[in-house]
Amino acid sequence: MKWIFSMNLKSTGKVNWLVILGMCFLAACSFGDFYEEPEGQSGSLTRFVVHNGYMYSLNPNEVVTFFIQQDGKPLEKHRLVLDYGLETVLIYEGVMYLGSRNGLYIIDISIPEKPVLLSETTRPAQLFGGCDPVSVKDSIVFSTVKVIENICGINNAMSALLVYLVDDLSNPELIGTYAMSRPNGLGYKEDVLFVCDDGQNEVVLYDIHDPGDLKELQWTIPVKDPVDLIVYQDRLLVSTDTEFHFYDIQDITDIRPLGIMSK
């Protein structure tokens, strides 16, 4: 497949990283494939990830493990069958986190070719059936659930940002629920969490230094229909259905737009 970019950059920032970020998003890949950077900071809506020579891909109800051979061809090694509704995958500090329509799954990949389920969460009825992108920081998992029509034709009663404590990977604990409009992808820089909210056409910011008591910051980033985002050092990339929006977030109190790239 050939991708064509039209760029409209109004600042003199480094174009190379913009192109790499855009290509990375289009390919649904992790920054770990290109940089030795902390895990957990790539886009939160990806359905496959490459880690230590293995690729993990999601089917609706299973995790498929491939070994990447020297010629680059993937060789299927294992299938872990779970409940229907798997949507997103993230690896953080050697542990796999899956977002699904039912909840959060935590997977042990210490034996890379044979993932093992460690735990899974359940949701209250008003949150059941929504998509579940995930971001992980230390022993805290942030996840969003948005109002959608599920397979039974029933809408969730609410959308929310969920916060889990996972210091015990076999027993994740829900420690916070924060109502939102239609949250999508998310990511963080230090103690600030960025959450796409296409219901409000903005990226919402939270102070997360106290994971048990998040504080919504008084300013947001206006973006029409934000879908997902990537935080990379002092740069933020926000993906919409038609565009990539780039920001300088070195100073969280003075976020500056860098430009827009059409998909």
Banded pLDDT at 148 (limits 50, 70, 90)? low
In contact, 83 and 102? CB cutoff 8 Å: yes
Compute the distance between CA of residue 132 and CA of residue 105 in angstroms, rounded to an integer. Answer: 10
More confident residue, 57 or 147: 57
Residue 27 has pLDDT above 50, yes or no: no
Residue 131's pLDDT is 65
Residue 237 has pLDDT above 80, yes or no: yes
Other Cβ atoms closer than 10 A to 249: 20
Using alpha carbons, list the distances in angstroms from residue 71 to 68, 96, 97, 102, 202. 8, 26, 28, 37, 43
In contact, 62 and 45? CB cutoff 8 Å: no
Using alpha carbons, list the distances in angstroms from residue 219 to 165, 207, 253. 27, 12, 8
What tokens were used for 245?
A: 């929006």
Banded pLDDT at 64 (limits 50, 70, 90)? very high
Compute the distance between CA of residue 99 and CA of residue 97 in angstroms, rounded to an integer. Answer: 7
Residue 3's pLDDT is 34
Sign of CA dihedral 221, 175, 160, 22: positive
Residue 192 has pLDDT above 50, yes or no: yes
Residue 12 has pLDDT above 70, yes or no: no
More confident residue, 235 or 33: 235
pLDDT tens track for 152-162: 555 555 789 99
Contacts of 15 (CB under 8 A, 6+ apart): 7, 9
Cα 59 to chain centroid, rounded? 17
Residue 36's pLDDT is 34
Q: What is the pTM of this model?
A: 0.82
Banded pLDDT at 85 (limits 50, 70, 90)? confident
Mean pLDDT to the nearest integer, 113-134: 80
Phi, psi of 15 (to 5 degrees): -70, -30
Q: CB-side exposure of 24: number of CA atoms within 13 Å? A: 27
Compute the distance between CA of residue 252 and CA of residue 75 in angstroms, rounded to an integer. Answer: 44
Residue 228's pLDDT is 93
One-letter amino acid for residue 161 of the chain: L
Mean pLDDT to the nearest integer, 86-108: 93
More confident residue, 129 or 220: 220
What average pLDDT is seen over the chain?
82
Residue 251's pLDDT is 96
Banded pLDDT at 46 (limits 50, 70, 90)? confident
Mean pLDDT to the nearest integer, 98-118: 94
Residue 212 has pLDDT above 90, yes or no: yes
Using alpha carbons, list the distances in angstroms from residue 84 to 6, 58, 150, 222. 38, 11, 12, 34
What tokens were used for 37?
A: 């950077």
Residue 34's pLDDT is 36
Contacts of 128 (CB under 8 A, 6+ apart): 101, 102, 150, 156
Q: Which domains does the chain have, with CATH numbers?
A: 13-262 (2.120.10.30)
Compute the distance between CA of residue 208 and CA of residue 136 in angstroms, rounded to an integer. Answer: 12
